[in-house]
Amino acid sequence: MMGSCASSVPSRVVAPQPIFRLETVRQETARTTKPVDESPKRAQRAWEFETRAFAVPSASAGSIDSRVSRFGASLTWNLRVTERTTAAVKLETERSSYKFDGLQAALPGFDLRRVDGLDVHRASVNFMHIRSKETSYFVGAGAAVAQEPGAAFEDSSVFNFQVGMRHAWNDSLSTSIGVAASTRIEEDLFALPFLGLDWTATDSWSFQFGVPATGVKFRASDSVSVALRARFEFRDFRLEDSGAMPGGILRDEGIGVELGLDWRPSPAISLGVNAGYLMNRELRFDDASGATLLEVHPDSSPFAGLSLKYQI
């Protein structure tokens, strides 16, 4: 599910998108020094628009019950900088809503029964340089604002960076290695080295292993695929300065395990539906300085999501 950290070569997920998500520039090309669109694999389109929705109907932690819904959209511009270098410029936005029952007894003095309009706005750019048939390098950076309307902009900003390399051992097996780092609201810098493996076993089966995303995908046909994925994510939100918890911070993190179905009715359109369970989840409420006021661990709970992707 949730908020995020670093990734090797992340899988395409319909699950919620985190404040920080490592996006190793995944190359939709064969291991070649030719320009990207000359690859025998599917040519990468210049523009990609995606919209998605996600909901956790109910998650309980003792006497506290929480419900979450999210809606987001992103726009990606894929371009070739040089014959061997490509870039992906991405703009994203997401709105989250939380509802809590029983929270007032655990946090007396704070009326947080409902927190609406928690927005994340993110911009990122990632570069991939093909050095040879086997080796390519990637580097990327991004900035995001995660806040409830009325929160101070400068206190709600986070930044991330990643750098690494990818090596193709043959046409079906490649590995990635690198490091990713991100700031967090009122917390120390989060840094994580990562190692990933991408293996296309057959024309139908492919596997991805890494941190924070791991999965297996079965391509039933040119238009239908099914995937089983697991992913760790985190989100931090700065609450409004004059709200129920002035300038406070809501943190939400955990592991989502999901089964997803993707249908591509045309080369430009992709529809996705997924469902799964959130596990090892932590909800934390901090004051404006980052001191923890309450930490709860909801039971594993189901979630569901939908996505629509359009490429031109």
| pLDDT on residue 201 | 96
- The domains of the chain, with CATH numbers, are 36-311 (2.40.160.40)
Q: What is the pLDDT of residue 62?
A: 83
Angle at 36 (CA atoms; ends 35, 42), nearest 5 degrees = 140
Most distant CA pair in the chain, distance: 63
Cα dihedral across residues 50, 17, 96, 153: positive or negative: negative
Report which secondary-structure segment, H or E, holds 94: strand 85-101
Nearest-Å Rg of the Cα atoms of the chain is 20
Burial (CB < 10 A; 0-12, 13-18, 19+), residue 284, is middle
What is the C-alpha separation between 162 and 78, in angstroms, rounded? 18
Q: Which pLDDT value is given to residue 16? A: 36
Nearest to 66, CA basis, from 116, 19, 4, 113: 113
What's the token pair of residue 56? 């956790």
Whether the CB-CB separation of 263 and 271 falls below 8 Å is answered with yes
User: Of 250, 294, 223, 306, nearest to 115 (Cα)?
Assistant: 250
Residue 42 is classified by DSSP as P
Q: Is the dihedral of CA 33, 38, 42, 44 positive or negative?
A: positive
Q: What is the pLDDT along the chain (312 residues), one digit of tens a residue?
A: 444 443 333 333 333 334 444 443 444 433 333 333 433 344 567 999 999 999 998 888 888 899 999 999 999 999 999 999 999 999 999 999 999 998 877 888 787 888 888 999 999 999 999 999 999 999 999 999 999 998 999 999 999 999 999 999 999 999 999 999 999 999 999 898 988 999 999 999 999 998 778 999 999 999 999 999 999 988 999 999 887 888 999 999 999 999 999 999 999 999 999 999 999 999 999 999 999 999 999 999 999 999 999 999
Which pLDDT does position 103 carry in this prediction?
Answer: 85
Q: Residues with Cβ < 8 Å from 109, sequence gap 6 or more?
A: none
Q: From CA 202, how far away is CA 209, in angstroms rounded?
A: 16
Residue 44 pLDDT? 62
pLDDT at 114: 84
